[in-house]
Chains A and B, each alone.
Chain A
Amino acid sequence: MKKISLLFITILMGLFPLAIWANQPVFTAEDMPWDDGTAVLLKWNLDSKADSLSLQKADSLGVYHEFFNEFSTQGQHIESSLEIGGTYKYRLIAYNRAAGDSSVFTGSATTKAQWFDMNKLSLLILLGLVCGAILYYIYLGRKGKELFIRRISGLDSMDEAIGRATEKGKPILFVPGLSDLGDIQTIAALNILSPLAQKSAEYGTELLVPCRSSMVMSAARETVKEAYMQAGRPDAYREENIFYLSDDQFGFVAGVDGIMLREQPAANFFLGAFWAESLILTETGFGTGAIQTAGTGQPHQLPFFVVTCDYTLIGEELYAASAYISRDPQQLGSLKGHDFGKLLVIILVLVGVVTEILGWGWFKHFFEGGGG
């Protein structure tokens, strides 16, 4: 018992200086964690009597210069654009102007580039799980396992739309969005353009592809040309049907609207990235009586497409379209991986709700990028 009492007193005595330290004004300078080695993190916890501060950095001669003076008793400042591996000296002067007093704190830090951004650990885990699932289902698809993929009516209707255009002797209009080739939505649109062009070549229906970006025009030309060759109709390919209109948003819209009104296409496809022009385009198409299919990753434009188009590809359907149309078992396997991803997200959301209700903030914090 005596020993326990002695141990208890020792622990208390050990904690006492810590308790005193906790109330002491503190200033620290440290290398910014998990960065590319170009930033220093400065933290302070000042005396409550302090009313202003001056954060200073020493130059090569050791002379301090102020670079930050926004006052807060407890705060932090990240100094960026520094050199990797450099040692930097800092000084914080906390003023108590009412008492005519000031305290000086110093600190130094050496920047270091990290090999991994721990703030992205949760993202890496999720990405690993989703990619793992996709690869697993691709493997199953390769082995010949039958995979159930739900129907996407917007894509099933492609034949109907092309058939109607063929019957009416009218062209098909395909707009691959207004974004450049660096946008995955545009790539997804080009992936759908390929089977569409193949079918239009088979049916002998004219395909018009107005583009907002020259890069997209070049890629679309290659895509359509290859598709016509695959269909065995290279002679039917007309390069001038895939053309550049304008880089200007509403100039492009005016051009496409003009095409819809003059050429009266029987089927319109609006797939890719769209912004404020989405409704202007599709409402004009609705007015011409064309069968319309639209798809975008921009959630704000989806309601406009739903109202004005016959079929709308929502969310991941745009990215899944090419795999869905191809019916290639490998590609269909990857779609099954998407479903696993959705299940994972549902589970994480439910767990997140429960942990937040229980007051366990670490779960949300981890997925917000606080892995470090």
Chain B
Amino acid sequence: MKRNAPLVVAFIAGLVVLVGGFIPREPFPSIESTLIDWFMIISGFAILLGQASLLHLNITRVKEKMPNWPYYLAGLISFALMLIVGLLWGMEQTPGLLGQGDGIVKSLGAKPFDYLFTNAFIPLSATMFSLLAFYIASAAYRAFIIRTFESNLLMITAVIVMLGRTSFAQLLTGWIPDKLSFLRLPELTNFIMEYPNTAAQRAILISAALGIVGASLRIILGIERSYLGGGK
């Protein structure tokens, strides 16, 4: 029963959504939106599970003074701080338990939650994102080391595309006569991006779509049950 019930639910839900994709009339659109609503409700409850897991994990590590425990303590303090200021004064236009907190807004320039969000959370997030620039450089260096014909080709293409995206490209190849304008770097870049690149990406997308059809069919028919832990 524990195994069959999810399979039956998956079969019915999958079939209804699949059929509803082709039949625009009621009751299919309503069923689909109801299923989405159910998913959102379950997600809402699951958030509590996530927070509980986060707290349990961090408290245990701090209690047991596991290696790097101060980091977990910092995580717990940040969690508690955001939760408390959010509950007390709310965020943006939403009031908290103590109302809009006009006094504190005057001194900080924003509600404490918004202040911390803008001045601590966003810079930290941006810092993580900015690491991408350095990682792209190191990954590109490895990818462009000329070892094989393919890596050579990749490097040449990448140089054309990178140069073609800068104003320097016009400076370098702007002198090429109009008759041979296709040889100008911006034109070459556009060609590479529009044709070979798009073709390759579409091939991957089509193959992924076929994979999705196969995987969905296996799940609907109950052949694929690994997500339930496997078994027959």
Which residues of chain A come closer than 8 Å to B71, judged between CB atoms? Answer: 258
A191 at the interface (CB under 8 A from B): yes
Nearest A residue (CB) for B228:
A226
List, sorted by A's number, 16 A–B pairs whose CB atoms are closer than 8 Å: A184-B215, A190-B226, A194-B226, A195-B226, A217-B49, A218-B46, A223-B229, A226-B230, A229-B229, A240-B53, A244-B50, A299-B208, A334-B217, A338-B211, A338-B214, A342-B210
Q: Check if B179 is an interface residue, CB within 8 A of chain A.
A: no
A-contact 0/1 string along B15-41, CB 8 Å cutoff: 000000111111001000000000100
Provide the residues of chain A in CB contact with B97, threshold 8 Å.
Answer: none
The verdict on A94 contacting chain B, using a C-beta distance below 8 Å, is no
The verdict on B207 contacting chain A, using a C-beta distance below 8 Å, is: yes
Query: Which residues of A are found within 8 Å of B121, using beta-carbon distances?
Result: 248
Instruction: Check if B214 sits within 8 Å of A319, measured CB to CB.
Output: yes
What 1/0 flags go to A242-257 for Cβ under 8 Å of B? 0111011111011000
Q: Which of B67, B135, B206 contacts A279 (CB 8 A)?
A: B135
Structural contact, A299 and B226, CB atoms closer than 8 A: no
Q: A223-B228, A227-B229 are in contact. Are A187 and B128 (CB under 8 A)?
A: no
Judge whether A244 and B139 touch: CB under 8 Å. no
Asked whether A37 and B230 contact (CB < 8 A) given A334-B217, A334-B223, the answer is no
Closest chain A residue, CB of each to CB of B205: A299
A195 engages B230 (CB within 8 Å): yes
For chain A residues 180-220, which have a beta carbon within 8 Å of chain B?
Answer: 180-182, 184, 187-188, 190-195, 198, 211, 213-215, 217-219
| Segment of B54-62, B83-91, B101-109, B185-193 in the binding face | B54-62
Complex contacts, B140 vs chain A, CB 8 Å? 307
Minimum Cβ distance to chain B for residue A120 (Å): 5
Task: Find residues 126-173 in chain B having any chain A CB closer than 8 Å to their own CB.
Answer: 126, 128-129, 131-132, 135-136, 138-140, 142-143
Q: Supply 8 further A-B pairs (C-beta < 8 A) apart from A227-B230, A319-B214.
A: A127-B213, A191-B226, A217-B53, A283-B139, A304-B139, A308-B139, A314-B204, A315-B211
A binding-site residues for B, Cβ under 8 Å: 34-37, 84, 113-117, 120, 123-124, 127, 130-131, 134-135, 138, 180-182, 184, 187-188, 190-195, 198, 211, 213-215, 217-219, 222-223, 225-227, 229-230, 240, 243-245, 247-251, 253-254, 258, 262, 276, 279-280, 283-284, 297, 299-300, 302, 304, 307-308, 314-320, 322-323, 326, 328, 330-331, 334-335, 337-338, 341-342, 345
Using a CB-CB cutoff of 8 Å, which residues 214-232 of chain B contact chain A?
214-219, 223-224, 226-231
Task: Give 7 nearest A-B pairs by CB, closest first.
Answer: A226-B229, A316-B211, A214-B50, A319-B211, A315-B207, A113-B25, A244-B50
Task: Note all chain B residues with C-beta closer than 8 A to A322.
Answer: 215, 224, 226
B60 touches A240 (CB 8 A): yes
Q: B68 in the interface, Cβ–Cβ < 8 Å?
A: yes
Q: Which residue of B lies closest to A127 (CB)?
A: B213
B125 part of interface (Cβ distance < 8 Å): yes
Q: Which of chain A's residues have a CB closer than 8 A to the CB of B228?
A: 222-223, 226
Q: Decide yes or no whether B42 CB sits under 8 A from chain A.
A: yes
In the bound complex, do residue B143 and residue A307 qualify as a contact, i.e. CB atoms below 8 Å apart? yes
Among A130, A187, A302, A320, contact of B204 (Cβ-Cβ < 8 Å): A302
Q: What's the nearest-Cβ distance from chain A to residue B171, in Å?
A: 28
Let me know if B226 and A130 touch, CB within 8 A. Answer: no
Q: Which residues of A have CB within 8 Å of B142? A: 307
Contacts of B23 in A (CB 8 A): 115-117
Is there a chain A Cβ closer than 8 Å to B118's Cβ? no
Chain B residues with Cβ below 8 Å from A222 are: 228-229
A316 CA / B213 CA spacing, docked (Å):
10
The interface size bin for chain B is 35 or more
What distance in Å separates the Cβ of A37 from its nearest Cβ neighbour in chain B? 6
B47 interface residue per 8 A CB criterion:
yes
- Is B98 interfacial (CB 8 A cutoff)? no
A157 to B140, CA, bound (A): 25
Q: Return chain B residues, CB-CB under 8 Å to A113.
A: 24-26
The answer on a CB contact under 8 Å between B22 and A315 is no
A319 to chain B, nearest CB (A): 3
CB of B201 closer than 8 Å to a CB of A? yes
Q: Is B43 an interface residue (CB 8 A)?
A: yes
A191 to B211, CA, bound (A): 13
Contact A223 B24 (CB under 8 A): no
* Cα separation A84 to B24 with both chains bound (whole Å): 12
A residues less than 8 Å from B210 (CB atoms):
130, 316, 338, 341-342, 345
Q: Are B217 and A213 in contact (CB under 8 A)?
A: no
Q: Is the pair A134, B217 in contact by a Cβ cutoff of 8 Å?
A: yes
A240 to B54, CA, bound (A): 9
Once the chains bind, are A315 and B230 in contact (CB under 8 Å)? no
CB-CB nearest in chain A for B55: A244
Q: Give the docked Cα–Cα distance between A323 and B56 (Å).
A: 35
A244 near B54 with CB under 8 A, answer: yes
CB distance from B123 to the nearest CB of A (A): 11
Residue pair B208, A315 in contact (C-beta under 8 Å): yes
Provide the residues of chain B in CB contact with A250, threshold 8 Å.
124-126, 128-129
B212 at interface by CB-CB < 8 Å:
yes
| Residue in chain A with minimal CB distance to B56 | A240
A187 to B140, CA, bound (A): 31
Chain B residues within an 8 Å CB radius of A218: 46, 49
* A139 shortest CB reach to chain B, Å: 12
For B201, list chain A residues within 8 Å (CB). Answer: 299-300
